[in-house]
């Protein structure tokens, strides 16, 4: 019997270990403890049972890769900003330029590169939009300059001054080309006609409005119907003979240069509705020429010119006087600037405010570039603010960049290539052949697909240390206050975000390595840990982890408290922070109870 039992045991062992017992499979025995390397947290390996792993014959042994620390992702607060507001918030990084006097006028050139003229003190300065730097300065004025305006072709500039003189300059040479001197008082409005480039409109404090013929330096028509200063005016964008003006006599008038008569009067104290009884600061006409806008005091009014100048809308969203009106490139949004430091953006389809921008001083003038990339505002304290928006690739004219007219006419192969690829052939960094260190880009069809090479993701410093079970060093790597790197003698400071630090702490908790990481520290190495806890102990995102770390620190370092004034002060700050949070939560509980009582009583009385 014993010999039969021994024979059966031998057969069972042979069946379990023999490769022939399981066709095309082999049995491998492995210790599950080998999947965990030995490290200081596990001084003695636990005894785990043998596990049978069954694998095919052709299976290759796989090496476990290190998994980097998974950074915690917290839910972002729901954004209440509309798409309209997000668009206008793209105008950021304002550049502030300080002038010697209030900036009274800003005007963008209709032609590229859309340089803009800024009028302040006794000069008109031409700025480059890309660099926001002054490229030309015109200072040949006898008195304070007013209303610098660039012609549609971008070659001439017209401006008036407080002596009553109107001058036309060449924008490049700054030479005076024409002088118009029939006004007797300051001229606050000078503008080129958008349809007739040989005509200039001027509005003066002598209550007259003149339309000038530039070649002859003589007025074509003079209107003297206003009874007070004329501070606003515009030639209709669709008709060179219609002129819209606004004056301090609280009226908005529409003149016809052909008849020399006032065809329409809007507002004024004598109007039936009493509308526009305040001085008119600015007027603006839609590109269609059928609707006009006027700013008088804090009120913006909309006038229907087709219906005989009827006021169809009156808006009062500003707290103080509106000083400037401006359209975007499509005239679908209206920008208004006022003395209340605000710029408000209106949707002209509903005349509702869709966005508001705040400025540091009262706004006197406002302008937006024709390509909707720059907003310039002049303020009463002499500050010029320029905000810039980076246009998207879809907004840029790709056809102009990829297909030039010359290459298309020649029928060359280069017409099918991008301009960047063409210009890079045989050129260096600065576009000169043989100079610079930049290599030429590969030339190919713009429609071809390029397979991008996949690069192996590099581990961060704390991941490398964690991979080698250097827990204390890994924790120090994410607790560094700042990392300084010198690139071309420029100092950069990169702060480690708290999400990274607490994600590593979470990983240390999972590995049972938090005590190892926090142990054996002196006051210098313990300081950044306590600084982190003091800063984020009351943060709802990291409160639980911070409390766990604080509990471990108190257990480990309570016996040595009192030996370092720095560490003692940090522990006191941590205690105060916790007490403040608990006090705040008790107050919230009281408020919650009071609100529940109010809601309950209101439900009973309802």
pLDDT, tens digit (0-9, with 9 covering 90-100), for 249-269 = 999 999 999 999 999 999 876
| pLDDT tens-place string over residues 24-65 | 333 332 333 333 343 444 444 443 333 444 444 444 445 557
Q: 488 and 359 in one domain?
A: no
- Is there a domain that residue 299 lies in? yes
Mean pLDDT of all residues in 384-407: 63
Q: Is 532 within a domain? A: yes
Q: Are residues 240 and 363 in the same domain?
A: yes
- DSSP three-state, residue 84: helix
For residue 371, the model assigns a pLDDT of 92
Q: What is the mean pLDDT of the segment spanning 409-436?
A: 43
Residues 419 and 478 in one domain: no
Does any domain span residue 358? yes
**263 lies in the same domain as 337:** yes
Burial of 120 (0-12, 13-18, 19+ CB in 10 A): buried
In a domain, 151, yes or no: yes
- Asked whether residue 444 carries a pLDDT value surpassing 90, the answer given is no
Residues 160 and 288 in one domain: yes
Which of 5-19, 288-302, 526-540, 585-599 is predicted least confidently?
5-19
Domain identity same for 435 and 468:
no
Is residue 199, in this structure, part of any structural domain at all? yes
pLDDT digits 0-9 by tens, 179-194? 999 999 999 999 999 9
Residue 546: band (very low, low, confident or very high) from pLDDT cuts 50, 70, 90 = very high
Quick one: 309 and 435 in the same domain?
A: no
Predicted pLDDT of residue 446: 54
**Mean pLDDT lowest for which of 171-175, 401-405, 468-472, 519-523?**
401-405
Q: What angle do CA 95, 86, 129 make, to 5 degrees?
A: 30
- If asked whether residues 13 and 137 sit together in one domain, one would say no
pLDDT at 198: 94
Read off the pLDDT of residues 136-145 as tens digits, 9 standing for 90 and up. Answer: 999 999 899 9
Answer yes or no: is 12 within a domain: yes
- Residue 210 inside a domain? The answer is yes
In this structure, the answer to whether residues 423 and 523 fall within a common structural domain is no
Q: How far apart are CA 170 and CA 157, in angstroms?
A: 6
Give the count of domains, the chain.
4
Find the domain containing 210 and state its range: 89-388
For residue 145, give Cα distances in angstroms to 200, 225, 440.
Answer: 17, 25, 50
| Segment 403-415 mean pLDDT | 42
Instruction: For residue 322, list its beta bridge partners.
Output: 338
Mean pLDDT taken over the chain: 80
Q: In this predicted model, which residue has the larger pLDDT, 62 or 468? A: 468
At 105, is the pLDDT very low, low, confident or very high (cuts 50, 70, 90)?
very high
Please give the C-alpha separations between residue 197 and each of 67, 98, 289, 437, in angstroms, as whole numbers: 69, 33, 19, 47
What mean pLDDT comes out for the span 95-118?
A: 93
Residue 476 is assigned to a structural domain of this protein: yes
Specify the DSSP class assigned to residue 428.
Answer: -
Three-state secondary structure along 526-588?
HHHHHHHHHHHCCCCCCHHHHHHHHHHHHHHHHHHCCCCHHHHHHHHHHHHHHHHHHHHHHHH
Of 353, 388, 423, the residue that ends a domain is 388
Residue 338 DSSP SS3: strand
| Residues 177 and 228 both lie in one domain | yes
d(CA 492, CA 306): 61
CB contact set of 335 (below 8 Å; sequence gap of 6+): 325, 326, 327, 328, 343, 344, 345, 346, 366, 368, 375
Do 381 and 417 fall within a single domain? no
354/421 same-domain check: no
């Amino acid at each position: 019997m014993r010999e039969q039992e021994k024979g059966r045991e031998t057969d069972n062992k042979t069946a379990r270990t023999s490769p022939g017992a399981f066709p095309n499979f082999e049995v491998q025995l492995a210790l599950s403890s080998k999947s965990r390397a030995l490290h200081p947290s596990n001084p003695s390996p636990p005894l785990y049972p043998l596990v049978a792993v069954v694998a095919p014959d052709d299976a290759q042994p796989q090496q476990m890769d290190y998994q980097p620390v998974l950074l915690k992702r917290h839910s972002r607060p729901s954004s209440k900003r509309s798409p309209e507001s997000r668009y206008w918030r793209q105008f950021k990084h304002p550049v502030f330029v300080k002038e010697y006097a209030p900036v009274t006028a800003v005007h963008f050139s209709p032609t590229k590169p859309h340089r803009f003229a800024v009028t302040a003190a006794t000069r008109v300065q031409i700025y480059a939009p890309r660099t926001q730097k002054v490229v030309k300065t015109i200072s040949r004025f006898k008195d304070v300059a007013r209303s610098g305006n660039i012609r549609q072709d971008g070659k001439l500039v017209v401006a008036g001054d407080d002596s009553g003189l109107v001058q036309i300059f060449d924008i490049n040479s700054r030479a005076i080309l024409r002088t118009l001197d029939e006004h007797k008082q300051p001229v606050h409005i000078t503008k080129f006609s958008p349809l007739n480039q040989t005509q200039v409109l001027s509005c003066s404090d002598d209550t007259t409005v003149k339309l000038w013929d530039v070649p002859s330096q003589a007025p074509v028509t003079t209107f003297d119907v206003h009874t007070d200063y004329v501070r606003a005016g515009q030639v209709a964008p669709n008709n060179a003979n219609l002129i819209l003006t606004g004056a301090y006599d609280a009226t908005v008038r529409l003149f016809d240069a052909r008849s020399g008569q006032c065809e329409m009067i809007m507002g004024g104290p004598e109007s039936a509705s009493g509308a526009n009884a305040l001085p008119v600061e600015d007027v603006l006409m839609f590109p269609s020429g059928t609707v006009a806008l006027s700013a008088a005091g804090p009120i913006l009014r909309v006038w229907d010119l087709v219906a005989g100048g009827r006021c169809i809308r009156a808006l009062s969203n500003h707290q103080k006087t509106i000083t400037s009106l401006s359209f975007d490139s499509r005239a679908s949004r209206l920008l208004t600037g006022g003395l209340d430091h605000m710029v408000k953006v209106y949707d002209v389809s509903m005349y509702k405010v869709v966005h508001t921008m705040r400025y540091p001083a009262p706004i006197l003038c406002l302008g937006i570039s024709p390509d909707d990339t720059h907003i310039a505002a002049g303020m009463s304290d002499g500050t010029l603010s320029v905000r810039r928006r980076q246009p998207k690739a879809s907004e840029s004219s790709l056809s102009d960049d990829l297909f030039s007219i010359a290459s298309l006419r020649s029928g060359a192969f280069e017409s099918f290539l991008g301009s960047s690829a063409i210009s890079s052939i045989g050129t260096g960094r600065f576009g000169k052949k043989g100079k610079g260190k930049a290599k030429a880009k590969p030339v190919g069809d713009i429609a071809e697909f390029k397979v991008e090479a996949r690069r192996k993701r590099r581990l961060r410093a704390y991941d490398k240390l964690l991979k080698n079970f250097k827990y204390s060093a890994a924790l120090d790597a994410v607790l560094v206050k700042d990392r300084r790197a010198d690139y071309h003698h420029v100092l950069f400071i990169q702060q480690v975000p708290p999400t990274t630090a607490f994600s590593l702490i979470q990983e240390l908790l999972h590995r049972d390595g938090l005590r190892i990481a926090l142990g054996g520290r002196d006051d210098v190495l313990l300081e950044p840990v306590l600084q982190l806890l003091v800063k984020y102990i009351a943060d709802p995102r990291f409160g639980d982890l911070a409390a766990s770390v604080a509990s471990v620190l108190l257990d480990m370092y309570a016996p040595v408290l009192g030996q370092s004034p720095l560490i003692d002060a940090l522990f006191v700050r941590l205690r105060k922070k916790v007490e403040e949070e608990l006090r705040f939560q008790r107050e919230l509980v009281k408020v919650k109870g009071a609100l529940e009582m109010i809601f309950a009583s209101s439900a009973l009385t309802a």
